[in-house]
Structure 1
Amino acid sequence: MSTVILFTGGARSGKSARAEHYAARLHRPVTYLATAEARDDEMRERIAHHQQRRPATWTTCEQPLEVATALANVAPGTVVVLDCLALLVSNVLLANEAAPDQAVTAEISAILEATHAHDLTLIVVTNEVGMGIVPDYPLGRVYRDLLGRANQQVAAAATDVYLVVCGIAVELKALEVAWARPIE
């Protein structure tokens, strides 16, 4: 049975480490889908840090776009860590500036469909960008809105959603269930 788990939080909140720890606890084969591209020294350093932290037994696949295609090649029952949705949305936006809404929605839908079709456990890492300042340039506002909608799309499909703050993960779906109860 397929499962989707979402880890969200701010930059350097510890969400990737928490997602990796969650994946390791499942004691199954893990494929790490990395969406970052090493375009400068700082990003190369970040990528190297992430790589050093991962177990050598995990398979890593660099996949800046078309993540669903990569998921179709993963063995059923595998745990897949997608790190990170925020970079994937940025990549899709920049590759489809004429119609980014449709492209991002289609990408997320394809990822979720592939997860279910191949019986995977998908652990998604993403940034929460809705708590900060409104970007002062149009492309930044488009990106923030696209990522917010993509996060909601994945969260709706997820069995568990964790908000990571200061390295501490708080499970949000349980809070939502309690909040959604009717007032008596």
Structure 2
Amino acid sequence: MLPKLSLILGGANSGKSAFAEALVMAESHPRIYIATAQAFDDEMRQKVQSHLVQRGPNWKTIEAPLTTSDALENLPEDTVVLLDCATMWLSNHMLAETDLAAEQAKLLDALKACPAQVVVVSNEVGLDVVPENALARRFRNAQGALNQAIAKQADLAVLVVAGLPMVLKGELP
């Protein structure tokens, strides 16, 4: 059985989403997918469609690129939620120029209060070179802080590299 809150980290195309989906699929509870991506171009629309097909019909999808905290409220206790992903959520808020500290606090509170089991997918962006521009450095720092805050609350934290999971905190079910 999955713990109350799990964090699955990895780089781009590391296999983190597939690993997180497999964890959720192993649960017998109804599945909810909270999507944070916004499809602004054909490539992203194709990626979103590919993820829908990959998950199959046994998922309820909630699109919440900016309202993820609200989407976590009032979910049934007997469900398992895949929030994919915290990185897109952060990007959305940075582009919308919202108060990141307030939004992060709201998200962390919502994760804590959510009665369902939640699996959060997020990119690990701190393993690369220092970005060359201020916006990219601001994003990297904000993403690192968000990942640390979620990991602190999480019962399970897993880093996925080349499709291989490495448990950082807790135990896999």
With structure 2 as the length reference, what TM-score do the two structures score?
0.91
Aligned match of 2:153:
157
Among 118, 140, 143, the alignment partner of 1:122 is: 118
One-letter code of the match for 2:79? T
Take 2:114 and 2:91, find their aligned partners in 1: how far apart are those partners?
26
Whose helix fraction is larger, Structure 1's or Structure 2's?
Answer: 1
Shift of 1:119: 1.2
Measured against aligned partners, the alpha-carbon deviations of 1:113-133 in whole angstroms (never above 9, x if no partner) come to 223334121100000000112
For the Cα contact (< 8 Å) 1:162–1:169, is it kept in 2? yes
Q: Which residue of 1 aligns with 2:71?
A: 70
C-alpha separation in 1, matches of 2:127 and 2:156: 21
> 1:43: which partner in 2?
44
Query: Could you tell me whether the CA contact under 8 Å between 1:8 and 1:127 is conserved in 2?
Result: yes
Q: Gaps spanning 5+ residues in structure 1: where?
A: 176-184
1:87 aligns with 2:85: no
Aligned residues: 169
Specify the code of the residue in structure 2 equivalent to 1:65: L
User: Is residue 77–residue 117 contact of structure 2 (8 Å, CA) maintained in 1?
Assistant: no
Q: TM-score, normalised by structure 1?
A: 0.86
Which of structures 1 and 2 has the bigger CA Rg?
A: 1
Residue 137 of structure 1 and its aligned partner are, at CA, apart by 1.2
DSSP 3-state at the match of 1:156 = helix
Identity %: 41
Alignment correspondent of 1:170? 166
Task: Measure, in 2, the Cα distance between the counterparts of 1:32 and 1:147.
Answer: 21
SS of structure 1 residue aligned to 2:28: coil
- What's the offset of the Cα at 1:55? 2.8
1:49-70 CA distance string (max 9 Å, x none): 1111113121001110021111
Stretch moving more, 15-24 or 105-114? 105-114
Q: Which runs of 5+ in 2 are unaligned?
A: none
Whether the 8 Å CA contact 2:75–2:115 is kept in 1: the answer is no
- Secondary structure in structure 2 of the residue aligned to 1:154: helix
* Matched residue, 1:113: 109
> d(CA) in 2 for partners of 1:118 and 1:77?
11
In 2, are the aligned partners of 1:115 and 1:121 still within 8 Å (CA)?
A: no
For residues 60 and 107 of structure 1, what CA distance do their matches in structure 2 show?
22
RMSD of aligned alpha carbons = 1.7
Deviation at 1:145, TM superposition (A): 0.5
Query: Quick one: which amino acid aligns to residue 46 of structure 1?
Result: K
C-alpha distance in structure 1 between counterparts of 2:85 and 2:113, whole Å: 21
> 4+ residue runs of structure 1 moved beyond 6 angstroms?
none
Tell me if structure 1 keeps the 8 A contact 2:155–2:170. no
